[in-house]
Structure 1
Amino acid sequence: SAMASRRETKISMTRFAKVMFRTSSLLLVLLALQPAIFASVDDAQAFALQAAEPYVKQGFQVREDYWGGDLGSGEKKAVRQQLFKGNEYWFWLGTEVDKAKVSVHVYDSDGKLAEESDGWEKGHFAAAHVIPKATGSYFIIVSVEESPEDRTHWALVYGFR
């Protein structure tokens, strides 16, 4: 009976060790995947704001409100924004996915390209510059041109002066 008790203890300790090993292995896998699992629009917004930094030094005021979401490769999203004649605007797009390529373009309410020629795309950052000829609704088209991820988080911030 003492022998049986030791054997049961040994078996239950072995089971316990196996369960603990499996659990800790699963936790390690989840921690390794953590950036992919927990990446978010907030991360993308941090990159969009990073793209805006040099322009703040030039007197642009970055608005607190922003747009965000996730898109697959080749997908686009339209955002409508009221812009005012007499102001100058920059729209900055960012994603946390390093190997992604993104773009942003601005069109007027007639569907004509309304941005200046100094916009840019640099990997997972892009920017568009607009000096509206008239006050009205403008459409900002954000796109994930390509990405290694199925869905790529993006955020769009803007500033004016």
Structure 2
Amino acid sequence: MGFFDFLNEEPNQKEIPKKVRGDIDTEFAEENAHLDLRQEELDIHKNRVETGEVVLHKDIVEEEQIVNVPVSHDQVVIERKVIDREPTTEPITDEETVHIPVTAETIDVDKHTVVTGEISAHKRSVQETEQVRDVLHKEVADVETHGNADIIKED
């Protein structure tokens, strides 16, 4: 006599609902019966998403610079002396000319470019820990006994 055979002997037999396991419908278990117990587990996937960006670029600013540069130029000093009427043998002519070149320093300004610094950027990965919380569902077995049923649990 099997475990569930005593159910057939009751005069007011209750209808037992069908349980579905896989493709098999069972109303009554023979000698052995079992239930599959299931539980949920977290599937965690990480995705890399763009959260911002850093842009490096150069701007041109103007800065006026004032530099004092010493320069020189020639001055012609005209001096007159009074001579006490000395006699000369030279005739008076209009062809006598003296040329005195006059010079001055001028300033030419050119520009040239020099490197004064460098800026660089690189990325690095920083490891952090985030906590994930979710409610998981789990099937647990509930064994009910009715009447005088002798049950031995083996784990």
Q: Larger % of helix: which? A: 1
Q: Same fold (TM over 0.5)?
A: no
Question: Smaller-chain TM-score range?
Answer: under 0.3
Structure with higher Rg: it is: 2
Q: Larger % of strand: which? A: 1
TM-score normalised to structure 2 length:
0.18
